């Protein structure tokens, strides 16, 4: 079973992937996490990735594709949830091709939809600890003492990329990048839309309903 999660910033893709990992034993593949691991291990791949990230450039498709294929080789036939991948059409094509050769496939793509209003509400209420990086949310994960981190008592700040003008720009970029992918998976008939505004428990229950209905292949 392989699934892909799509959703705008603030849709909680990462949270859903973590729930699938904890409760259902999925491997959570996030390109960002993988980049950080490879860099920390100082592998040759890690060095290539670091070169692009340090320059503020996108890591080219062929490198990301290589990373994902290595991961899939090491994890044949396992349950995997992709979070933040694929990001481009060439990545999506090559993922399908690679899986096909191995008699595997993407079983489901879930698109967590969120209104622009809700994205802005969620992201502008995010606060981050200046010291330890712990994340809070003024709507649903408030710190015990206003403005201070529960873990280390340091000041909580709003990141520049959580400010409204920046969020609007991030939403535009997200739609521009993601719409071709949505279209691609929709044509393959394995895209399911979930109303993210209804909250994380609802989103998770919808995902589970679909994958459990898949039958013995699951
Ligand atoms: Zn802290």
Calpha distance 136→144 (Å, rounded): 10
Calpha distance 109→174 (Å, rounded): 16
Which residue from 69, 64, 73, 83 is spatially nearest to 21, judged by alpha carbons? 83
Instruction: Answer whether residue 169 is part of any domain.
Output: no
Instruction: Answer whether residue 105 is part of any domain.
Output: yes
Instruction: Answer whether residue 37 is part of any domain.
Output: yes
Instruction: Answer whether residue 56 is part of any domain.
Output: yes
Domain that holds residue 67: 2-114+179-217
CA of 143 to the centre of ligand 1 (A): 10
Q: What's CA 21's distance to the chain center, in Å?
A: 13
Q: What pTM was computed for the model? A: 0.84
* Tokens coding 146: 């206003």
Residues 171-211 have pLDDT tens digits of: 998 999 899 999 999 999 889 999 999 999 999 999 999 99
Calpha distance 47→58 (Å, rounded): 14
Instruction: Answer whether residue 87 is part of any domain.
Output: yes
Calpha distance 96→41 (Å, rounded): 28
Instruction: Answer whether residue 43 is part of any domain.
Output: yes
The mean pLDDT value of the chain amounts to 92
Q: How far apart are the first and last CA of the chain?
A: 6
Residue among 79, 87, 200, 210 flagged as catalytic: 87
Calpha distance 218→215 (Å, rounded): 6
Question: In whole angstroms, how far apart are CA 199 and each of 33, 113, 118, 139, 205?
Answer: 25, 11, 11, 12, 10
Instruction: Answer whether residue 145 is part of any domain.
Output: no
Higher per-residue pLDDT: 57 or 151:
151
Q: Does residue 170 have an active-site annotation?
A: yes
Instruction: Answer whether residue 165 is part of any domain.
Output: no
CA of 17 to the centre of ligand 1 (A): 24
CA of 158 to the centre of ligand 1 (A): 13
pLDDT above 70: percentage of residues in the chain: 98
Q: What is the model's pLDDT at position 215?
A: 66
8 A C-beta contact, residue 112 and residue 196? yes
Which residue from 63, 80, 61 is spatially nearest to 72, judged by alpha carbons? 80
Task: Kindly report the CATH number assigned to the domain that includes residue 31.
Answer: 3.40.50.300
Residue among 2, 13, 122, 127 flagged as catalytic: 13
Q: What is the model's pLDDT at position 216?
A: 56
* Tokens coding 43: 């592998």
Residue 218 has pLDDT above 70, yes or no: no
What's the total number of domains in the chain?
A: 1
């Amino acid at each position: 079973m392989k699934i892909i999660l799509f959703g705008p910033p603030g849709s909680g893709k990462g949270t859903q992937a973590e729930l699938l990992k904890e409760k259902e034993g999925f491997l959570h593949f996030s390109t960002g996490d993988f980049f950080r691991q490879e860099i920390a291990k100082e592998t040759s791949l890690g060095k290539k990735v670091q070169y692009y990230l340090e320059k503020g450039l996108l890591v080219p498709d062929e490198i990301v594709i290589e990373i994902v294929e290595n991961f899939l080789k090491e994890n044949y036939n396992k349950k995997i949830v992709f979070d933040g991948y694929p990001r481009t059409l060439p990545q999506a094509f090559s993922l399908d091709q690679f899986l096909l050769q191995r008699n595997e496939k993407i079983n489901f793509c879930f698109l967590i939809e969120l209104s622009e209003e809700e994205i802005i509400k969620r992201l502008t209420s995010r606060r981050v600890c200046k010291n330890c990086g712990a994340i809070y949310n003024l709507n649903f994960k408030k710190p015990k003492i206003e403005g201070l981190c529960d873990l280390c008592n340091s000041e909580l700040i709003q990141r520049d990329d959580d400010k409204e003008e920046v969020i609007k720009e991030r939403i535009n970029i997200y739609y521009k990048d993601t719409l071709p992918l949505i279209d691609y998976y929709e044509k393959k008939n394995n895209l399911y839309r979930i109303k993210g505004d209804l909250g994380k428990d609802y989103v998770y229950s919808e995902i589970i309903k679909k994958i459990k209905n898949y039958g013995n292949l699951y």
